[in-house]
Amino acid sequence: MKSTTLIILSFLLFMEPIQSAPSHAFNSIFSFGDSYADTGNINVLAKNDSLYTDNLPYGMTFFHRPSKRFSDGRLIVDFLAEEFGLPYLKPYLEKNHSFRQGANFAVLGATALDDTFFKQHNITRFEDPINNSFSSQLKWFEELKPSLCQTTKECKNYFGKSLFIVGQIEGNDYIVMFSGLLSVKQMMSYVSTIIKSIAGTIKELIDQGARTVVVPGNIPMGCLPSLLTILKSNDSSIYDPKTGCIEKYNTLSRHHNSLLLEAVKKLQIKYPHAKIIYADFYKPVINFIRFPQRFGFTSKPLIVCCGIGGEYNWDQPRMCGTPNVTACQKPLTYVNWDGMHLTEAAYRYVSNSWLKGPYADPPILDAHAN
């Protein structure tokens, strides 16, 4: 009976529509991060290069057209905007928009650490880097700032009524290290440096007037179908028997999240006037993998919706958005969209769990701007 009740409650939380909060809660949203939040900045940086997101089936579920998002529909940042009655965030680099109600600085492939760090440590990137790290995104924010406010008092008043989202972003730092052939043990040695960069970004934003900052943790990287495909092994000992994920990469994610939570707690003490919210990304996603039926994910949780070939329906040369690669008919029943990103259905649940709890401390709806 207890198990049945838990399943029903989980299902209701997943299906429950996000209710409108008072329109005065936040007047704007500013998002920093990577492709989990990018709404078009990479399209500007890529210039004339064609991107997968320029093609269907990206955007098929909600927008019914390519929307420059790495999913079948809306992202967490979109659901947060809906919650507070704000427009979907425009990518800052498009420039030709009004950003009075917020801006999106997130961009595909962004890292917490600058490219100079990777060069100094002889970590070779698998592609030419672009200026998209946290420091670059902060520079873009500073470029925009004079159009929003002029004096220190005016800026503190304006940004004090804004919601800031800082991450997720760190996953790409570890992907860069992975592509540079670093072991998980070697990656572990850099976690504190990555956390320091994230904390520095949060400090900078608070010093400029931010009062409410959401800090998402890292996803369970060992559950990414792309990584599972690349590292596929006949050695069953590398997999978690409860999830089928590669345990050492999930251990890395948990270690990262543990240090990030410690950093957030220290910042909460240092800035008691601000509301700094740790948003757990790991637990909701790992629960999708362990108990998919509870959340309406009736398809195998490690199988990609939009892909082709192999055990996980993912093949690097033939990714979602390329010719002859199709999407599943019901993305609502899948956790993973394209091997690296989640479906709108998964993002909806995560956003709801951050807004109301239990996966944000405190829940965002308990942290209305003053």
User: What is the C-alpha R_g of the chain?
Assistant: 20
DSSP annotation of 88 reads P
Active-site option among 31, 35, 67, 351 = 35
240 catalytic? Reply is no
Question: Given 31, 162, 338, 353, which residue is catalytic?
Answer: 338
Closest C-alpha to 132, from 216, 195, 46, 48: 46
| Sequence-ordered list of residues with C-beta below 8 angstroms from that of 79, at least 6 positions apart, any chain | 18, 347, 348, 351, 352
Beta pairing class for 360-361 and 275-279: antiparallel
Alpha carbons 247 and 244: distance in angstroms, whole number: 9
DSSP 345-363: HHHHHHHHHHHHSSSEES-
217, with CB counted inside 10 A (0-12, 13-18, 19+), is buried
List the one residue out of 250, 206, 230, 292 whose CA is nearest residue 7: 292
Q: Where are the beta strands (DSSP E) in 47-150?
A: 102-104
Catalytic hit among 115, 135, 341, 351: 341
Is residue 338 annotated as part of the catalytic site, yes or no? yes
Given CA atoms 314, 315, 319, 322 in this order, what sign does their dihedral have?
A: negative
Q: Which residues are catalytic?
A: 35, 338, 341
